[in-house]
């Protein structure tokens, strides 16, 4: 039973790597990105690239940003904005 559980757990983690992250946002122009946020970081996937961004202090909402400010996720309630290099995705809504 223990071996079966280990195999199932490993299969779950392998499958999780190939699926989208827990939260998907749809933005203006029908562009999408996925995100998984924790108390101190956010993993963001956009255009087949994935980054982990550290959380930064914010007066309102929540913000995660790379040190060079080239990448950032800014959320408040179900709305978000993503800065990904030269791309800025505005008016993003959490898909429920």
What's this model's pTM, rounded to 2 decimal places?
Answer: 0.76
Sequence-distant (6+) residues with CB within 8 A of 4 are none
State which CATH number among 1.10.10, 2.40.128, 2.40.10, 1.10.287 fits the domain covering 21-94: 2.40.128
* 3-state SS track over 19-50: CCCCEEEECHHHCEEEEEECCCEEEEEECCEE
**DSSP state, 20?**
P
pLDDT tens by residue, 19-67: 568 999 999 999 999 999 988 999 999 999 999 999 999 988 999 999 9
Instruction: Kindly report the backbone phi and psi dihedral angles of residue 35, in degrees, each rounded to the nearest multiple of 5, phi listed first.
Output: -150, 150
The per-residue pLDDT for 19 is: 52
């Amino acid at each position: 039973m223990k071996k079966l559980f280990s195999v199932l757990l490993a299969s779950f983690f392998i499958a999780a790597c190939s699926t989208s992250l827990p939260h998907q946002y749809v933005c203006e122009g029908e562009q999408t990105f996925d995100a998984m946020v924790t108390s101190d970081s956010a993993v963001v996937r956009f255009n087949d690239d994935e980054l982990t961004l550290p959380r930064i202090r914010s007066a309102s909402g929540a913000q995660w940003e790379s040190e060079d400010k080239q990448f950032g996720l800014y959320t408040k309630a179900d709305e978000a904005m993503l800065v990904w290099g030269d791309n800025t995705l505005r008016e993003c809504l959490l898909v429920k």
